[in-house]
Structure 1
Amino acid sequence: MARPLPPPPECANCGADIPPQAKSCPECGADERTGWRETDIYDGIDLPPEAWDEEPSAPLRDTRRDVGGLPWYWWATGLFLLVAIAMAFLGLR
């Protein structure tokens, strides 16, 4: 069985100092199973500068169709049940 690699002095994921006999980074949890990468897995991704903006460029809209806090299908189900109960009560089957 291969011996695990010793941890690097500094975590490649978060930059925290790693103790010499540590099994994982005390800050982010990177461990020997990840291979103590010398680089982060996201290093090759070239994101546009807009990706680092704190606020989204356009406000997000809530597209759900809620009525009184409940989705429309629960209102439809309740209405159907009320009509069915009323018809059964009145004997209008």
Structure 2
Amino acid sequence: MWIQSVAGVSYLFGGSMSPAIKTALGYNQKQIALLGVAKNLGDAIGFVSGALSEVSLPWVVLLVGATQNLVGYGVLWFVVTGQLPNLPLWMEVFQACVGEI
């Protein structure tokens, strides 16, 4: 509970990520909404951490969660900052979903 309360990832998308993605990638509001839905879907299903918490140690669950977040949002950050080429929208949607699972 404490990790979730201080993480703030759920509120990051609308406040600071959405305008940056829109500007950097030239997405319209419909495409941004699709990314938001993927993020919310990944946040809602969260089966990986639930399944892992039943069979493994807490540090393993945290490591897997941190890796998923880094991969999901890290790729998106690299694209927005121009360090990676623009990816197709379906790939961005997948990355947003993985970042939240």
TM-score, normalization: structure 1? 0.22
- Please identify which structure carries the higher strand content: 1
- Please identify which structure carries the higher helix content: 2
